[in-house]
């Protein structure tokens, strides 16, 4: 009777546990189906089911064998997991033997499932690696969002940074997320990957940057630097708008869509806790109207929630168009900017933390004192740590506190470090001579210029005209050769703007009608729709054509031509060709928009303090700008031998900061020359400076 009561009691207990087990199993199956892709969830479910099996098996074994529950738990555990020394054939009763064999079979089943699961996970990971679809578990990387025509130039700059041990991007992998198909991205990257000395580690994923799930694929939360690229219409994000974007309404709509996508991306990035510690650089093609700046709205909302971030807008086309206008009037500006911005260049920006001045009680320096101890570079300004403000071309009496960062231009061959000399050295005599030479001098206003602009698109007139307004001397004439009259006529008080409608703005007849024989500069623009190599070939042929046209006129002064190109090699080819000519009737500068814009993005992303520098020198129309001034205007005479230090001091006394020299009619630029370098002043020598010279 007692045995029967025990049996009924056991079955009641077992029934209770089985019912609970069934619920557990059903819940486990449901969770499995919802989280089948997560290995950790599946391992957890297997472990839970194994625990339920062990516990139920121990109860049954305890009943049929008479062992205590604790001993039964160990026996079932040993059999289930094939612990060495356990056996399924040595039980003293048939019931116990059946129980341990069933448990043993359950153990085999669990092991088989676990083994299959591990094999499946390995296969999945291998497939993800091959297809590039799995999550990238990485930290401290550079994150590049979207793909457009500038992407390859940016990756090329990042790859070069791997050879610069002191650069913030050194030894950091690049992770790229774009809607472009991964195989297409791999195809475009193939040539770059095969370059000798290529060290940049690159990971690619296909996805949408404004979706949090896709951002998790590229470990956006753990990125050290983030570059948000302009979403190219060819990616399908803005499909249907680009072909009609010439009309102002649809163009504004295009800009609004781009702003919305950028704002969505920033909002998605802000969901990560580490976002406020990242530096975000946003690429924009053109300057955006205030009422379309949705990115700033998101920025302000995040700021009210305590999520402060730095967003740097670089309107690259606006910057380049403005520089083209400036280079028409100050020949060599474009060439100089392309040199100092690129990581490939023989010169580069450097930062140096100001040490304590042991000769002063407050440990501070005057700017004049500390800059004169920098003999191997060209000091440009400093960043004050107290107010986080960049000071370009500061006065010599400005106070530099310990910890402030000096901003200089230095030749790359001198390495990444900036050395402070123990004394002023050559600058002692140079400061005295420069002060005496500059006494009573002032930089004269340049003569009015005649500039011809051939074939410039109507939709991009605003930035070019703005550049002429900022840099052209009063009384200058700007003649636009266009295939149709613009909808609006900009009017400038100090300049004369003239618009001529011609059938082909680039033809020789049109240039003659615009008075090319008296022009100082010529801007060439390709018709819309032309791509590389056709656009570069057209520009080169027109430069040769103007050269032939002017040769027959017997002009003593050359015309300076400025144009956009798609490949940096185009300028090198044209340069080598013109070197072989007995007389050059033209000089020229070609700017590769993507290359210059990419260099700016990489500089600002790596060094956030570069943004206010670029902003003042290249974007805003007030404050310090780059100017190229005749050395003669600084009181130097032809044939005179002088040191770079004396030229620097003379310019500084005239409230200008020297960056380098432009030598001779061929405009050979020497940037950041060492202070003790001596030169003989020749015809055409100019000094490149940062200054606040107002027309």
> Could you report the per-residue pLDDT of 176-209, keeping only the tens digit for each?
999 999 889 999 999 888 888 888 999 999 999 9
Residues in a beta bridge with 686 = 630, 662
Surface-to-core class of residue 544, CB atoms within 10 Å of its CB (0-12 exposed, 13-18 middle, 19+ buried): middle
358-375 confidence digits (pLDDT tens): 888 888 999 999 999 999
What integer pLDDT is reported at residue 281 of this predicted model?
85
In the three-class reduction of DSSP (H, G, I as helix; E, B as strand; rest coil), residue 320 is classed as helix
Regarding whether 168 and 69 lie in a shared domain, the answer is: no
Q: How many domains does the chain have?
A: 2
Alpha carbon of 444 to those of 391, 681, 695: distances in Å? 25, 19, 10
Mean pLDDT of the region 526-544: 88
What integer pLDDT is reported at residue 123 of this predicted model?
62
Q: In terms of DSSP bridges, do strands 625-630 and 686-691 run parallel, antiparallel, or are they unpaired?
A: antiparallel
Residue 667 has pLDDT above 60, yes or no: yes
More confident residue, 289 or 612: 612
Residue 372 lies in a domain: no
Which of 10-24, 129-143, 372-386, 651-665 is predicted with the least confidence, judged by mean pLDDT? 10-24
Instruction: Choose the final residue of a domain: 96, 131, 166.
Output: 131
What integer pLDDT is reported at residue 435 of this predicted model?
93
Regarding whether 176 and 204 lie in a shared domain, the answer is: yes
SS3 content of the chain, % helix, strand, coil (to 5): 45, 20, 35
Regarding whether 214 and 95 lie in a shared domain, the answer is: no
What integer pLDDT is reported at residue 412 of this predicted model?
84
Alpha carbon of 226 to those of 27, 312, 348, 651: distances in Å? 41, 11, 22, 39
Nearest of 182, 169, 299 to residue 227 by alpha carbon: 169
The single-letter DSSP state of residue 218 is T
Of 264-268, 305-309, 546-550, which has the strongest mean pLDDT?
Answer: 546-550
Regarding whether 37 and 153 lie in a shared domain, the answer is: no
Q: How far apart are CA 587 and CA 502, in angstroms?
A: 25
Regarding whether 173 and 123 lie in a shared domain, the answer is: no
Residue 674 has pLDDT above 90, yes or no: yes
Nearest of 576, 607, 529, 590 to residue 161 by alpha carbon: 607
Cα torsion 686, 690, 692, 695 to 10°: value is: 30
Residue 385 lies in a domain: no
Sheet holding 389-392, edge to edge: 347-353, 405-411, 377-384, 389-392
The single-letter DSSP state of residue 363 is -
DSSP H stretches of helix in 450-588: 461-471, 508-513, 534-551, 568-579
Residue 172 has pLDDT above 70, yes or no: yes
What residues contact residue 246 under an 8 Å CB cut-off, 6+ apart? 458, 459
Alpha carbon of 451 to those of 60, 324, 476: distances in Å? 99, 12, 8
Q: How far apart are CA 109 and CA 103, in angstroms?
A: 10
Residue 611 lies in a domain: no
In the three-class reduction of DSSP (H, G, I as helix; E, B as strand; rest coil), residue 381 is classed as strand
Q: How far apart are CA 314 and CA 600, in angstroms?
A: 8
- Quickly state the pLDDT bin for 430 (edges 50, 70, 90): very high
Of 106-115, 308-317, 434-443, 686-695, which has the strongest mean pLDDT?
Answer: 434-443
Instruction: Choose the final residue of a domain: 259, 283, 308.
Output: 308
Residue 694 has pLDDT above 90, yes or no: no
Instruction: Choose the final residue of a domain: 70, 96, 131.
Output: 131
Residue 421 has pLDDT above 50, yes or no: yes
Q: How far apart are CA 646 and CA 652, in angstroms?
A: 10
Residue 52 lies in a domain: yes
More confident residue, 572 or 129: 572
Residue 523 lies in a domain: no
Regarding whether 159 and 70 lie in a shared domain, the answer is: no
In the three-class reduction of DSSP (H, G, I as helix; E, B as strand; rest coil), residue 378 is classed as strand
Alpha carbon of 486 to those of 460, 462, 505, 527, 672: distances in Å? 11, 11, 14, 15, 43
3-state secondary structure 410-468: EEHHHCCCCCCCCCCCCHHHHHHHHHHHHCCCCCCCCCCCEEEEECCCHHHHHHHHHHH
Surface-to-core class of residue 218, CB atoms within 10 Å of its CB (0-12 exposed, 13-18 middle, 19+ buried): buried
What integer pLDDT is reported at residue 245 of this predicted model?
45
Regarding whether 52 and 72 lie in a shared domain, the answer is: yes
- Quickly state the pLDDT bin for 91 (edges 50, 70, 90): low
Quote the percentage of the chain above a pLDDT of 90. 40
Which of 192-201, 219-228, 238-247 is predicted with the least confidence, judged by mean pLDDT? 238-247
CB 559 within 8 A of CB 586: yes
Q: In terms of DSSP bridges, do strands 450-454 and 477-482 run parallel, antiparallel, or are they unpaired?
A: parallel
3-state secondary structure 382-409: EEECCCCEEEECCCCCCEECCCCEEEEE
Which of 103-107, 116-120, 314-318 is predicted with the least confidence, judged by mean pLDDT? 103-107
Q: State the chain's mean pLDDT as an integer.
A: 81
CATH number of the CATH domain containing 101: 1.10.287.70
325-349 confidence digits (pLDDT tens): 999 999 999 989 988 998 888 898 8
Regarding whether 146 and 113 lie in a shared domain, the answer is: no
Q: φ, ψ for residue 673 (rounded to 5)?
A: -70, 150
Q: Which two tokens stand for residue 171?
A: 């030894």
Mean pLDDT of the region 97-124: 66
Regarding whether 161 and 125 lie in a shared domain, the answer is: no
114-153 confidence digits (pLDDT tens): 677 677 666 656 555 554 567 888 889 999 999 988 899 9
Q: Which two tokens stand for residue 205?
A: 């994923």
- Quickly state the pLDDT bin for 36 (edges 50, 70, 90): very low
Regarding whether 147 and 110 lie in a shared domain, the answer is: no
Quote the percentage of the chain above a pLDDT of 70. 76
Regarding whether 295 and 189 lie in a shared domain, the answer is: yes
Range of the domain at 115: 2-131
598-632 confidence digits (pLDDT tens): 888 899 888 888 888 888 888 776 788 999 999 99
Regarding whether 246 and 170 lie in a shared domain, the answer is: yes
CATH number of the CATH domain containing 186: 3.40.50.720
Which of 68-82, 320-334, 345-359, 584-598 is predicted with the least confidence, judged by mean pLDDT? 68-82
CB burial string 74-104: b at 16+ within 10 A, e below = ebbbbbbeeeeebebeebeeeebbebbebbb
Residue 65 lies in a domain: yes
Nearest of 323, 236, 314, 309 to residue 269 by alpha carbon: 309
More confident residue, 558 or 92: 558
Q: What's the pTM value of the predicted model, to 2 decimals? A: 0.76
Residue 313 lies in a domain: no
- Quickly state the pLDDT bin for 249 (edges 50, 70, 90): low
Residue 416 lies in a domain: no
């Amino acid at each position: 009777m007692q045995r029967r009561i025990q049996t009924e009691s056991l079955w009641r207990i077992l029934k209770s546990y089985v019912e609970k087990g069934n619920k557990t199993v059903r819940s486990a199956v449901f969770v499995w189906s919802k989280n089948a892709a997560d290995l950790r969830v599946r391992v957890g479910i297997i472990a839970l089911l194994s625990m339920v099996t062990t516990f139920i098996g121990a109860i049954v074994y305890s009943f049929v064998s008479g062992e205590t529950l604790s001993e039964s738990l160990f026996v079932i555990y040993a059999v289930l997991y094939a612990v060495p020394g356990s056996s399924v054939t040595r039980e003293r009763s048939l019931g116990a033997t059946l129980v341990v064999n069933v448990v043993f079979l359950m153990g085999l089943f669990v092991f088989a499932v676990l083994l299959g699961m591990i094999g499946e996970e390995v296969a999945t990971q291998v497939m993800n690696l091959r297809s590039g679809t799995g999550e990238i578990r990485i930290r401290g990387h550079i994150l590049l969002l979207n793909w457009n025509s500038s992407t390859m130039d940016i990756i090329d700059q990042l790859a070069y940074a791997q050879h610069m041990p002191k650069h913030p991007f050194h030894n950091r992998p690049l992770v790229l997320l774009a809607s472009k198909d991964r195989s297409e991205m791999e195809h475009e990257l193939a040539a770059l990957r095969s370059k000798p000395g290529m060290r940049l580690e690159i990971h690619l994923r296909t996805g949408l940057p404004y979706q949090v799930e896709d951002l998790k694929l590229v470990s956006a939360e753990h990125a050290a630097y983030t570059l948000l690229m302009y979403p190219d219409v060819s990616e399908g994000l803005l499909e249907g708008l680009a072909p009609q974007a010439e009309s102002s309404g649809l163009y504004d709509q295009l800009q609004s869509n781009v702003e919305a996508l950028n704002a969505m991306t920033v909002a998605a990035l802000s969901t990560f806790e580490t976002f406020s510690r990242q530096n975000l650089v946003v690429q924009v093609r053109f300057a955006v109207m205030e009422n379309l700046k949705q990115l700033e709205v998101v920025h302000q909302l995040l700021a009210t929630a305590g999520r402060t971030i730095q967003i740097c807008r670089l309107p690259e086309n606006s910057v380049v168009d403005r520089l083209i206008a400036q280079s028409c009037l100050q020949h060599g500006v474009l060439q100089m900017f392309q040199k100092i911005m690129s990581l490939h260049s023989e010169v580069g920006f450097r930062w140096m933390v100001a040490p304590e001045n042991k000769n002063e009680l407050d440990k501070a320096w005057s700017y004049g004192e500390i800059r004169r101890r920098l003999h191997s570079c060209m000091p440009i300004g400093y960043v004050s740590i107290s107010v986080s403000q960049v000071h370009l071309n500061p006065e010599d009496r400005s106070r530099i506190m310990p910890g402030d960062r000096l901003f200089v231009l230095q030749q790359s061959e001198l390495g990444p470090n900036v050395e402070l000399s123990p004394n002023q050295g050559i600058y002692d005599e140079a400061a005295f001579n420069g002060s005496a030479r500059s006494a009573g001098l002032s930089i004269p206003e340049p003569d009015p210029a005649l500039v011809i602009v051939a074939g410039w698109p109507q939709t991009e007139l605003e930035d070019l005209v703005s550049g002429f307004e900022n840099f052209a001397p009063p009384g200058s004439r700007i003649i636009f050769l266009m295939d149709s009259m613009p909808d609006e006529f900009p009017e400038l008080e100090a300049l004369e703007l003239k618009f001529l409608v011609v059938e082909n703005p680039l033809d020789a007849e049109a240039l003659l009608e615009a008075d090319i024989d008296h022009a100082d500069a010529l801007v060439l623009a390709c018709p819309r729709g032309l791509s590389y190599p056709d656009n570069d070939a057209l520009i080169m042929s027109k430069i040769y054509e103007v050269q032939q046209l002017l040769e027959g006129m017997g002009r003593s002064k050359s015309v300076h031509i400025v144009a956009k190109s798609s490949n940096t090699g185009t300028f090198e080819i044209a340069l080598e060709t013109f070197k072989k000519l007995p007389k050059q009737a033209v000089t020229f500068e070609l700017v590769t928009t993507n290359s210059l814009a990419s260099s700016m993005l990489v500089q600002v992303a790596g060094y956030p303090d570069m943004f206010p520098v670029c902003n003042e020198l290249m974007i805003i129309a007030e404050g310090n700008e780059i100017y190229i001034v005749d050395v003669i205007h600084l009181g130097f005479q032809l044939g005179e031998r002088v040191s770079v230090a004396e030229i620097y001091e003379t310019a500084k006394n005239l409230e200008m900061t020297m960056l380098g020299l432009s030598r001779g009619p061929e405009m050979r630029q020497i940037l950041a020359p060492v202070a003790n370098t001596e030169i003989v002043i020749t015809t055409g020598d100019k000094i490149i400076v940062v200054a606040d010279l107002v027309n």
